[in-house]
Amino acid sequence: MIYQNQYQTCGGKKEEFEDFRTCAIREAQEEINLKLIIERIQLILKHTYYSHNKSGTKPTTNKDYQEDRINQANLVQIPTYLYWVQYNELNQIKNNEPLKQSNLEWRDYEQCKHLVFTPTLTDNMTKIFKEYIPKYVEEYSKRGKVTRDPYQINQKRKYPKNQRN
């Protein structure tokens, strides 16, 4: 567990042969027993930063940023996907990793505002609940599927837009 005593969504390490979407599908199956349907998976953001270690738990500071970029420090990318779990899928969901994570909980925005989450979720909480989720629901309700990457997040960007402090 990288972020002890903090809430997070399911996720994990990307295998060398995987893209981020394939990794998200595999991790959902492994961690919460949910088989994701590709038409309902939507990339909403990618948190990108440099870290002093591969696991991403020691982000570089703005002061270190230029030097780390030049020295090819570890570039960490944390994509975040939305997925609409439908009512008939709720019975599939279970905690497949009870020794690694606590019980699964459903939370709304008001509840989430008062909890401690991992940095990616904390930094983007309001945007996820107030912008991304409503747009996702509207699009899926109209089309029966969602745009994979509606915000044109550049998968090949070499350097982060914003550095973490």
pLDDT band, residue 137 (cuts 50/70/90): very high
Q: How far is CA 111 from CA 106, 133, 162, in A?
A: 10, 16, 28
Say what the pLDDT of residue 10 is.
81
pLDDT tens digits for range 105-115: 888 899 988 88
Q: How far apart are CA 13 and CA 121, in angstroms?
A: 17
Confidence check: pLDDT of 162 > 50: no
Name the pTM for this structure: 0.75
Confidence check: pLDDT of 157 > 60: no
Higher pLDDT, 152 or 23: 23
